[in-house]
């Protein structure tokens, strides 16, 4: 019983290492080659997990080989445009000036319902509002609205806005994240002062607290039910 447990744990760690080295894409953002590698790694890893008579190296070596192949292919494709296009294909325009482009949609083997569903997920319910929409190489759809349909920005309205920087999590479930505190140029004395003003005596009483370099903060005390 102990042997399968150890073998599974070791393979789990190897797969985590492989995935970390290959990048941080989400599943829906994988290129074809990355998706193939992911499926193959899953298939290879399952064999020695299910059969303890198979040497563990028969799972580890193929996983490391696939990982190395993916890293090499990715590095090569970054430097060679033709190879990258051969591997991943090209984006394809499916809507232009509010009109569906049937030849492109047929070539991609998509249905009109697929296109419309993707548009709705992006908050667009009228294709006449679209200037250009294309299917990217990872299968996602990118959309450019017509100029008159694009949302107004504060600059368009002549508004003066307060600057906002990236927010850093400083307290997570009562634990202070010192590295992020340093990133915004503050110390724990400042942190305690701010959370006290917000209604918490100690970091342990804070469920979530984040701040940016401009002094903007987000505070949630433990036990708060909104």
In angstroms, the CA 162 to CA 158 distance is: 13
pLDDT recorded at residue 31 = 66
Predicted confidence (pLDDT) at residue 206 exceeds the cutoff of 90: yes
73 and 101 assigned to the same domain? no
CATH number at residue 193: 3.30.240.20
In angstroms, the CA 181 to CA 190 distance is: 10
6 and 82 assigned to the same domain? yes
**Does any domain span residue 35?**
yes
pLDDT mean over 55-65: 82
- CB environment 7-42: b (16+ within 10 A), e (fewer): beeebeebbeebeeebeeeeeeebbeebeebbebbe
Predicted confidence (pLDDT) at residue 43 exceeds the cutoff of 90: no
* Range from 152-156, 190-194, 200-204 carrying the lowest mean pLDDT: 152-156
Q: Distance between the two ends of the chain, CA-based, in angstroms?
A: 47
User: Could you give the number of structural domains in the chain?
Assistant: 3
pTM summary value: 0.60
Cβ–Cβ < 8 Å for 171, 219 = no
Predicted confidence (pLDDT) at residue 143 exceeds the cutoff of 80: yes
97 and 129 assigned to the same domain? yes
Range of the domain at 183: 168-221
Task: Quote helix, strand, coil % in the chain, to nearest 5.
Answer: 50, 15, 30
pLDDT recorded at residue 68 = 83
Cβ–Cβ < 8 Å for 119, 125 = yes
pLDDT band at residue 28, thresholds of 50, 70 and 90? low
77 and 97 assigned to the same domain? no
22 and 59 assigned to the same domain? yes
38 and 81 assigned to the same domain? yes
Show the tokens assigned to 5. 């447990």
7 and 66 assigned to the same domain? yes
**Does any domain span residue 204?**
yes
* DSSP codes, 175-204: EE-HHHHHHTT--HHHHHHHHHHHT-SSGG
pLDDT band at residue 220, thresholds of 50, 70 and 90? very high
**Does any domain span residue 156?**
no
Residues 6 or more apart whose CB falls under 8 angstroms from that of 197 comprise none
6 and 67 assigned to the same domain? yes
pLDDT band at residue 218, thresholds of 50, 70 and 90? very high
**Does any domain span residue 76?**
yes
Angle at 103 between CA 100 and CA 109, to 5 degrees: 95
Instruction: Give tens-digit pLDDT for 6-16.
Output: 777 887 788 77
pLDDT recorded at residue 131 = 96
């Amino acid at each position: 019983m102990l042997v399968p447990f150890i073998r599974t744990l070791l393979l789990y760690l190897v797969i985590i290492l492989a995935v970390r080295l290959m990048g941080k894409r989400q599943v829906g953002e994988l290129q074809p080659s990355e998706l193939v590698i992911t499926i193959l790694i899953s298939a290879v890893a399952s064999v020695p997990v299910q059969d303890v008579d198979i040497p563990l190296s028969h799972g580890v070596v193929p996983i490391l080989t696939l990982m190395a192949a993916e890293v090499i292919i990715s590095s090569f494709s970054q430097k060679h445009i033709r190879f990258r296009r051969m591997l991943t294909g090209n984006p394809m325009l499916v809507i232009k000036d509010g009109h569906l482009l049937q030849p492109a949609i047929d070539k991609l083997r998509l249905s009109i319902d697929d296109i419309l569903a993707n548009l709705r997920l992006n908050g667009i319910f009228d294709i006449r509002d679209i200037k250009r929409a294309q299917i990217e190489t990872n299968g996602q759809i990118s959309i450019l609205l017509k100029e008159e349909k694009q949302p107004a920005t504060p600059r368009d309205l002549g508004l003066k806005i307060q600057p906002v920087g990236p927010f850093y999590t400083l307290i997570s479930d009562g634990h202070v994240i010192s590295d992020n505190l340093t990133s915004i140029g503050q110390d724990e004395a400042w942190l305690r002062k701010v959370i006290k003003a917000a209604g918490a005596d100690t970091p342990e009483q804070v469920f979530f607290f984040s701040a940016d370099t401009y002094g903007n903060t987000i505070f949630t005390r433990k036990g708060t039910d909104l």
